């Protein structure tokens, strides 16, 4: 083993964890891992995908699920190398330098800032199912106030909120799985349609529709949307910095991911296509609400509506939690306003959390004024998800390269098939961007309504230009803060910046 990392960089990396409390226990970690990615993408977004894709959507979810599992294995290796609340930002700083950390952190923040605004707006819509006269602005403020208070209390309070939110989401899926299995095996009549596995191939157009409004590449192209249904699965990496026993709990959570994806994502989609023709599912209405309504269980549809509110609130909660910690990691290197460094005695980076919540309020107002203009900004958040997942794969590849050269010790939880499995993940994410462009082009006859296409062709260069300009604005401060040591911590032969002899 070569000489250890320089004291300057060691202090810098370790400083990110100062002030945090390791208060997330096994119960909370397990439910965050299970329920973190179960949200509106499954409960609501799957309807439009079923309608436009057909039964083959099951394969789309399964394949993306495998990529998500590879992502979590890469993440697990990084967490056991060094658990930190800065997560991907901190690892990018360690393996690729300050500029990479700056870009990664702000891309992740952009993703959650825009996603959180959309979730707030969604809560306002969902609440109208129960309280049609409730002003949207009031719903937005109440919802934000609840998750803001939860986040400002402590990491343990966040964990408890996520635990019970996950219990409700997982519970709803389990109830549906039980009812769905009974209905499909018993071949019950659902609103004039007989349930059963025969619907997989008797569905209009067959299992893989390729005629009429369908295209043979539909189930492949839809993966560019399915990947965002799994977004937030990487949140375990951020939470690891505040786990009581990350080295034990993270491997358990990661190893169970493939099973949970199969049960809680692919399972419900498979049952949905076995219960009704996919043409019966319509955008804007939860497919679960549709099924329960046809079964005469309208009250269960109301329960799903309530779960949608819980899912959106859970996403908001996660957005505030992660952005507060990522902003503090950026602030430690002068890459974000120094205001974001402030922490409460309970170990909460409250300043970054408050900053994000202010953006949420302004964004929700913007969405109310001009939802069409905001839709484009929301799609830009998708780029943030792809970038974050890419950064995890890249960091895992670099970590393993350094391990192979004897520069750093091997993680005790290694990704199988490395580096090829990470290369597969990166290739898939590159294809997701291509898929977004193609699906966006096909989505409308009007050029300026081809939202995803515009985001890929114009949005990516604009975001890149803004990040480049932002880096030049903070570069001098970062250089001064690090003494010019803005490169990666490690080179192929050891520390990039060896310790200077003490006077």
Between 444 and 177, the more confident residue is 177
Q: How far apart are CA 268 and CA 132, in angstroms?
A: 30
In the chain, helix, strand, coil percent, each to 5?
70, 0, 25
Q: Crossing angle, helix 246-255 and helix 57-81, to 10 degrees?
A: 160
Q: Between these two residues, 129 and 108, which has the higher pLDDT value? A: 108
Q: Which residue has the higher pLDDT, 100 or 89?
A: 100
> Would you say 495 and 422 are in contact if contact means Cβ atoms under 8 Å apart?
no
> How many percent of the chain have pLDDT more than 70?
90
Q: Nearest CA to 317 among 158, 137, 169?
A: 158
Q: Is a pLDDT exceeding 80 seen at residue 31?
A: no
Mean pLDDT rounded to a whole number for the chain:
86
Task: Output the 3-class SS for 294-354.
Answer: HCCCHHHHHHHHHHHHHHHHHHHHHHHHHHHHHHHHHHHCCCCCHHHHCCCCCCCCHHHHH
Mean pLDDT of the region 138-159: 89
The whole model's pTM is what?
0.89
Average pLDDT of span 107-134: 85
DSSP string, 390-425: HHHHHHHHHHHHHHHTTSSPPPSSPPTTTTHHHHHH
Task: Quick: pLDDT tens for 436-446.
Answer: 999 889 888 89
> What pLDDT digit, counting tens, does each position of 234-276 carry?
877 777 767 777 788 888 878 888 888 888 889 999 999 999 9
Identify the H or E element spanning 166: helix 155-185
Domain segments of the chain: what residues?
16-480
Is residue 433 pLDDT above 70, yes or no? yes
Sort strands 189-190 and 193-194 into parallel, antiparallel or unpaired. antiparallel
pLDDT at residue 75 above 90?
Answer: yes
pLDDT surpasses 70 at 175:
yes
Please state, in angstroms and as integers, the Cα–Cα distance from residue 112 to each residue in 10, 106, 107, 207, 369, following that order.
29, 10, 9, 35, 21
Whether domain 16-480 has CATH 3.40.50.720 = no
pLDDT band at 487 (very low <50, low <70, confident <90, very high): very high
Tell me what the mean pLDDT of segment 46-61 comes to: 92
């Amino acid at each position: 083993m070569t000489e250890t990392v320089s004291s300057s960089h060691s202090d810098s990396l370790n400083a990110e964890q100062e002030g945090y409390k390791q208060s997330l226990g096994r119960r909370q970690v397990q439910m965050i891992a299970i329920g973190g990615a179960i949200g509106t993408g499954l409960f609501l977004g799957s309807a439009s995908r079923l309608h436009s894709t057909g039964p083959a959507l099951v394969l789309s979810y399964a394949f993306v699920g495998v990529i998500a599992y590879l992502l979590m294995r890469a993440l697990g290796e990084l967490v056991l190398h060094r658990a930190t609340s800065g997560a991907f930002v901190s690892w990018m700083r360690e393996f690729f330098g300050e500029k990479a950390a700056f870009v990664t952190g702000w891309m992740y923040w952009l993703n959650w800032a825009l996603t959180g605004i959309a979730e707030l707006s969604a809560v306002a819509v969902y609440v109208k199912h129960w309280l049609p006269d409730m002003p949207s602005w009031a719903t937005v403020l109440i919802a934000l106030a609840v998750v803001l208070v939860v986040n400002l209390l402590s990491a343990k309070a966040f964990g408890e909120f996520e635990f019970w939110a996950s219990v409700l989401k997982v519970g709803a899926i389990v109830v549906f799985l039980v009812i769905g299995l009974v209905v499909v095996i018993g071949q019950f009549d659902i609103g004039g349609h007989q349930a059963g596995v025969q619907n997989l191939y008797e569905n209009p157009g067959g299992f893989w529709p390729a005629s009429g409004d369908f295209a043979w590449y539909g189930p492949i192209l839809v993966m560019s949307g399915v990947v965002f249904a799994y977004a937030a699965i990487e949140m375990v990496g951020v939470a690891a910095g505040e786990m009581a026993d990350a080295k034990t709990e993270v491997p358990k959570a990661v190893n169970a991911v493939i099973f949970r994806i199969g049960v809680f994502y692919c399972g419900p989609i498979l049952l949905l296509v076995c219960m009704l023709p996919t043409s019966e599912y319509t955008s804007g209405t939860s497919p679960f609400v549709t099924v329960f309504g046809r079964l005469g269980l309208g009250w269960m549809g109301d329960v799903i509506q309530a779960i949608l509110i819980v899912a959106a609130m859970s996403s908001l909660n996660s957005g505030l939690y992660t952005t507060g910690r990522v902003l503090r990691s950026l602030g430690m290197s002068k890459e974000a306003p120094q205001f974001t460094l402030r922490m409460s005695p309970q170990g909460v980076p409250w300043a970054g959390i408050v900053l994000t919540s202010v953006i949420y309020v302004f964004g929700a107002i913007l969405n109310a004024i001009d939802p069409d203009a905001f839709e484009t900004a929301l799609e830009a958040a998708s780029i943030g998800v792809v970038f974050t997942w890419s950064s995890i794969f890249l960091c895992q590849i670099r970590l393993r390269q350094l391990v192979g050269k004897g520069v750093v010790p091997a993680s005790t939880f290694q990704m199988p098939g490395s580096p090829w499995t990470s290369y597969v993940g990166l290739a898939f994410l590159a294809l997701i961007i291509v898929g977004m462009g193609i699906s966006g082009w096909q989505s409308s006859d009007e050029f300026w309504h081809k939202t995803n296409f515009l985001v890929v062709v114009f949005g990516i260069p604009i975001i890149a230009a803004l990040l480049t300009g932002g880096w030049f604005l903070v570069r001098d401060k970062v250089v001064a803060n690090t003494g010019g040591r803005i490169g990666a911590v490690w080179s192929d032969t050891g520390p990039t910046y060896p310790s200077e002899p003490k006077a």
